[in-house]
A and B are shown apart, each in its own frame.
Chain A
Amino acid sequence: MSGAPYDGIVLTCPVTVPYVRYSNETAHWWIARGLRGTLDAAGLKPGQIDGLSVSSFTLFPDTPVGLAQHLGLSLRYLDTIPMGGASGVVAARRAARAVQAGDADIVACVAGDANRIDSFRQLLSAFSRFSLDAAYPYGYGGPNATFALIMDAYMAEYGARREDFGRIAVAQRANALRNPHALMKKPLSLDDYLNARMISDPVALFDCVMPCAGVEAFLVMREDEALRRNLPFARIRGSIERHNAYAGDPVQLRGGWAVDIDTLYAQAGCGPQDMDLLQTYDDYPVISMMQIEDLGFCEKGGGAEFVRTHDLTIGGDFPHNTSGGQLSTGQAGAAGGYLGMVEAIRQVTGQAGPTQVADARLAMVSGFGMVNYDRGVCSGVAILEGAA
């Protein structure tokens, strides 16, 4: 059954603080900048928000309430979404319900992480119990090895080839070259992709994201509040989340999206053919391909054929990960789970600047997060509509 509509609730003031490969600043510093950026865009002071939803891996030893005190916020709604790549979608849909129910008036949703020289190795080392017990002792390849196994099995099952995944990476790089904040500045050809060094077969260098520091943020408020403040906004036409789906599948060849996708389209009153753009969670191109299938843009196993026959760039017939995605802009920890959401809000409100898709009105944002053992276990999707 579909949830009640998100009537009267909007997403607004999308902010990306440009990423940095290595930064000595803390998560608190980055989150403060993201928060300040989204509040400035709304003309709000910190004392005027009463809700905060935060996602970060590097706040330790602080919890979100420690962060709230650190940042001088007094709140009546405080949430943390520790779902990695699914954080953006999940934060938005929960904050929307809180505002809709009157538990909060304005919720700032923010995700950011620090990245010092050794942060990524340390983050990996304590990521999850199953990883410690049953994944890291086997070569310590981190997520690269986990997704190499998924990609290996996917290729064997559906006949996808490396160049099919390469098309996704190459198109995103082309998009990223129009995004001044993307960390990757050099053009990427399919040959570059195919000839890159192997990281964990069949995952090669350009299948991997670059860990970095950064923050993404947006606000959730009532539509009347946004109108009063003259803010461009997006509505949520529908959203779903699903965790630990298909636990019996021996290898992850599909994700939780597939469980609830019909519910989502029913709630949104539209279908895949209506989308002006798609933001998938692209920790690896194979996962983007899986989302294209599971979200209904083609049939299962047809992802490779789909990317062969579509143009995934901003000006193409299937605009996908328009800011360059994590593959080309970098993965700023939990902010990677917000990147698609923030870019989608920009797109449907006509604020995407150099990466703007012409006449974008409906956008789909898909999230995927948290490798616990041999697969990602969180997933979520939202369909956003610009208010035009």
Chain B
Amino acid sequence: MTLPYPKKKDPQKRTVVPTLPPAMRSRAALGLSVAAAEGRFALQHCGECGAVQYPPRDACHACLSHDLSWKDTKPYGKLLAETRIHASPDPYFRERLPWRMGSVQLKAGPVVLAHLVGVGRGDRVRVDLRLDRAGQGVMVALPEHRSDDMEDDPVLRAMGTHPKHRRVLISDATHPVTRPLIDALFAAGAAHVFAGVPEMWRRPHGLSALDGLENVSLLPLDVTDPQSLKEAASEIGGKVDILINTARHIRPGGVLGHDTTAARDEMEVNALGLMRLAQAFGPGMAGRTADGVNSAAAFVTILSAHALSPDPAYGAFNASQAAARSVAQTLRAEFAPSGLRMACVYTGPTEDEWHQPLPPPKVAPKALARAVVDGLQQGLEDIFCGDVARDLADRWRSDPGLLEREITGGGA
């Protein structure tokens, strides 16, 4: 299956109003969405008897224990039964009929209902847990062995954020990730990349890496300057399908021993800049989430993993990252009714001048670019790039108080 590049949009036609699949879930079932946001396949496991269960419950169906936790689970099984739905009262599915779904007996135990992509009754399948357009985790049964163009399937395309045929805006081309990010986006099939350049007049460092690239347009864009955002949005706002915010202002240093000048600049770029960028491009993107093959799909921002818990050596910067994370979480809620995905890419220290004295492991720009594009291809919402970020996130999830004490001293 090969997804054709869409024809030019007919400006006289009304843009399709986005509809969403059913979004309501019980509290227990939200665990699926948490796992799907990170690309994990997790089910409820009983801490007492070990039973694995689905649908999610508030007590173990085997022993009534309430000691339940979400654990990564082997996603393999067999398709028991299938159907093709031709009639649905739900507006989202009505627009996409017929719709295939079926029941899968997982090797782990439970039977799950799932969307079907490229599989039929009796097949061995691998089940992905993915976010759907409503931002909820859903099961998708796929062949055990995947082909490259499987993501072109309308089911995955409708729920995903794949860059193929999409037009991408990178907000700040001076970030070292830009060139590898452009390469990875084109490798994934992106149609065009717009790259914003702050203070274009002084020809900032890093732009030479972009010289001579096809299908890349540079444009003046400064996330601290509302006028430049307004101009950029009026120029290309209707053509941005994926926005990747790379704007970053970073200076080492904690809170004491400095004035607040650097901290103010960090807040301006990292937190308020994200806000301004979202205000300029977000509503337009949110209105175009059902706009055919190259519909608007995702708004991505890159954050330090220390947004979760600060490293005092970068205390002021991390404060701006925590603020930006909070802004992103609100944006996620505000984008939800449109189905526009808000993705956060958390990275460990990056391989650049501002982290020069730090020991490895550090995240190379190429690795960061890979994480962003992988995340888009899988439709993730929370992406952790590099060992430092993954380790930090694991520790933060298990005990944020302990993590803080480990980072700030005392952790041997």
Contact = CB atoms under 8 A, between A and B. Distances in A.
Interface in B350-377: none
A132 B80 contact: no
A130 B103 contact: no
B101 A138 contact: yes
A145 B115 CA distance: 12
B26 A129 contact: yes
Q: By CB atoms of chain B within 10 A, which of A133, A142, A152, A250 has the most? A: A133
B90 A140 contact: yes
A136 interface: yes
B136 A137 contact: yes
Contacts of B82: 149, 152
Q: By CB atoms of chain A within 10 A, which of B80, B86, B132 has the most? A: B86
A138 B138 contact: yes
Nearest to B111: A250
Interface in B76-90: 80-90
A197 B25 CA distance: 32
A251 B85 contact: no
A145 B22 contact: no
Contacts of A144: 85, 87
B84 A200 contact: yes
Contacts of A132: 22, 24-26, 29
A201 B87 CA distance: 10
A150 B88 CA distance: 18
Nearest to B82: A152
Interface string A147-179: 011101100100000000000000000000000
Interface in A89-137: 120-121, 124-125, 129-130, 132-137
B21 interface: yes
A205 B93 CA distance: 19
A200 B83 contact: yes
Contact of B80 (A133, A153, A199): A153
A197 to B, nearest CB: 7
B56 interface: yes
A140 B103 contact: no
Contacts of B90: 136, 140
A152 B121 contact: yes
B113 interface: yes
Nearest to B138: A137
A134 B54 contact: yes
A202 B84 CA distance: 8
Contacts of B100: 139
B115 A133 contact: no
Given A133-B26, A251-B103, A140 B81 contact: no
A15 interface: no
B73 interface: no
B103 A149 contact: yes
A197 B85 CA distance: 12
A198 B89 contact: no
Given A132-B24, A138-B115, A152-B121, A200 B87 contact: yes
Contact of A199 (B26, B61, B86): B86
A141 B103 contact: no
Q: By CB atoms of chain B within 10 A, which of A121, A132, A141 has the most? A: A141
Contact of A140 (B86, B89, B105, B112): B89
A149 B21 contact: no
Nearest to A205: B87
Contact of B88 (A141, A201, A203): A141
A139 B26 contact: no
Interface residues of A, number: 37
A117 B132 CA distance: 29
A374 interface: yes
A156 B123 CA distance: 14
Contacts of B132: 137
Contact of A139 (B81, B85, B112, B139): B85
Interface in B191-242: none
A70 B136 CA distance: 41
A373 interface: yes
A152 B101 CA distance: 12
A376 B78 CA distance: 22
B55 A199 contact: no
Nearest to A208: B87
B273 interface: no
B70 interface: no
Given A133-B56, A153-B80, A197 B86 contact: yes
Interface in B29-63: 29, 32, 54-56, 61
A148 B84 CA distance: 9
B99 interface: yes
Nearest to B23: A137
Contacts of B163: none
B102 interface: yes
A120 to B, nearest CB: 7
Q: By CB atoms of chain B within 10 A, which of A198, A202, A250 has the most? A: A250
Given A133-B56, A150-B81, A153-B81, A138 B113 contact: yes
A223 B103 CA distance: 49
A182 B201 CA distance: 80
A147 to B, nearest CB: 9
23 contacts: A125-B24, A129-B55, A132-B22, A132-B29, A134-B112, A137-B21, A139-B100, A139-B115, A140-B88, A140-B93, A141-B101, A142-B89, A145-B83, A153-B80, A153-B81, A153-B103, A197-B86, A199-B85, A199-B87, A201-B83, A247-B61, A250-B103, A374-B111
Given A121-B89, A149-B82, A251-B81, 15 more contacts: A124-B89, A130-B55, A134-B55, A136-B22, A137-B21, A137-B136, A140-B22, A141-B87, A142-B89, A145-B83, A145-B101, A153-B81, A156-B121, A197-B86, A199-B86
5 cross-chain pairs, A with B, having the tightest CB-CB distances, nearest first: A140-B90, A148-B83, A133-B29, A134-B55, A139-B99
Interface of B: 21-22, 24-26, 28-29, 32, 54-56, 61, 80-90, 92-93, 99-103, 105, 111-115, 121, 132, 134, 136, 138-139
